[in-house]
Amino acid sequence: MTPFAYSRVFAHPFELHLAFFRDVAPDVEFACRLFEERRGKKPTGLAELQCGPAYYAQSAAKRGLKAWAADTRQDFLDFARARAPQLPVEYRLADPRELTGLAGVDLVLLPLDSFAYFPGDDDVLRFLRAAAACMSGDGLLLVEANHPKDVGYIDYGAVYGGKAPDFPGSRVRAEWGVNHPRWDLVTGRVQTQIRLTIEREGRQDQRVIDSQEKLWFAREVELLARESPLRLAEVFGGYKPGRICWDDAVQLFLFERAPRG
């Protein structure tokens, strides 16, 4: 299976873990509250796609939800399972565009702007159709994506993760756009270079990775969704109430099933 998104960027699971380590409990709380507000009941399950360390799936399991975590690399899944072996999370090796054997999920999440690694319309449509097949009739799909202002590489530079307790003394810095790239304003694509600086056990290693990304705007996503079983219902400025604005760091697409007829 071909690695996808951050599974392709980071050579080892602990690198992604250290670069993006954070508490996602407030994000999961927002997703659950959003489902309850829109559906009048509590969600029963959550599936995290391109899960990496599976922060969202594990947080959902702690809340008592049935939880699934999928990624395109087995070593990422093994790493996530080893971090919290006591949690009842079901781990799956799966491409987000080719999900099988999963159905009836109330909340499906594609976090951490993995969406930027879908290079074209066909990939997005495959993903939306696969996600729809996983969702319950009342299900919601939440997709985190780069903020539109990132087309100018404004506030789009370095990511420096928090200190992860399971790797004391280690840290990863990920710097995007070290080649000073410019987005193609017609296609929305960019060839960027990412410099990773890994500090571990008193050593520092550095390498540069080439990466192609796509900036998706809400209007084009809305039009694409019309060719799928889903529709774009709302665009938040992250995992919080309120429509996206300039000061937000990311955009969060909310999809639900298109009405029949």
Tens digits of residue pLDDT in 33-52: 999 999 999 999 999 999 99
Task: Please name the residue ranges forming H helices in the chain.
Answer: 6-9, 13-20, 25-39, 55-62, 74-83, 121-134, 218-225
pLDDT surpasses 70 at 123: yes
For the chain, helix (H) and strand (E) counts, in that order, are 7, 11
> Are residues 47 and 169 located together in one domain of the fold?
no
236 vs 119, higher pLDDT = 236
30 is a domain residue? yes
Co-location of 114 and 124 in the same domain = yes
Can you give the pLDDT at residue 176? 86
Q: What pLDDT score was predicted for residue 100?
A: 87
Higher pLDDT, 163 or 34: 34
In this structure, the answer to whether residues 99 and 163 fall within a common structural domain is: no
Q: Residue 154 pLDDT more than 80?
A: no
Answer yes or no: is 119 within a domain: yes
Q: What are phi and psi of 138, to 5 degrees?
A: -95, 5
- Regarding whether 97 and 194 lie in a shared domain, the answer is no
24 and 117 housed in the same domain = yes
Indicate which CATH number applies to the domain containing 142. 3.40.50.150
pLDDT at 252: 98
Q: Is residue 114 part of a domain?
A: yes
What is the pTM assigned to this prediction? 0.94
Evaluate if residue 161 carries a pLDDT over 80: no
Give per-residue pLDDT as tens, 219-256. 999 999 999 999 999 999 999 999 999 999 999 999 99
Give the model's confidence band at 158: pLDDT under 50 very low, under 70 low, under 90 confident, else very high.
Answer: low
Examine the domain organization and report whether 19 and 71 are in the same domain.
yes
Cα 187 to Cα 106, 121, 141, 169, 212: the distances in Å are: 33, 11, 25, 42, 12
Percent of the chain with pLDDT over 90: 69
**Termini Cα distance of the chain:** 38
| pLDDT for position 4 | 85
One domain, residues 111 and 164: no
Average pLDDT over residues 130-135: 97
Reply yes or no on whether the pLDDT at 93 is more than 80. Answer: yes
Does residue 1 lie in a domain region?
Answer: no
Whether the pLDDT of residue 207 is over 80: the answer is yes
Cα(22)–Cα(7) distance, integer angstroms? 18
Mark whether 110 and 20 lie in a shared domain.
yes
Asked if the structure places residue 142 within a domain, the reply is yes
Q: Could you give the CA distance from residue 202 to residue 139 in angstroms, rounded to a whole number?
A: 47
Q: How many CA atoms lie within 13 A of 83 on its CB side?
A: 24
Query: What's the pLDDT at 261?
Result: 60
Q: CA nearest 25: which of 62, 69, 76?
A: 62
- 1: number of CA atoms within 13 Å, CB side? 19
User: 74 and 171: one domain?
Assistant: no
Average pLDDT across the chain, whole number: 92
d(CA 42, CA 169): 40
Together in a domain, 100 and 176: no
Instruction: Answer yes or no: is pLDDT of 155 > 70.
Output: no
Count up the domains in the chain and report the number: 2
Beta bridge partners of 254: 142, 234
Q: Are residues 145 and 175 in the same domain?
A: no
Please indicate, yes or no, if residue 128 is contained in any of the structural domains: yes
pLDDT(20) > 80 = yes
Domain encompassing residue 169: 154-213
Q: Which two tokens stand for residue 240?
A: 């919080």
Contacts of 23 (CB under 8 A, 6+ apart): none
Gap between the Cα atoms of 101 and 106, Å rounded = 15
Residue 160: pLDDT over 80: no
CA angle 177, 23, 241 (to 5 degrees): 85
> For position 156, what pLDDT does the model report?
60
Residues 227 and 238 in one domain: yes
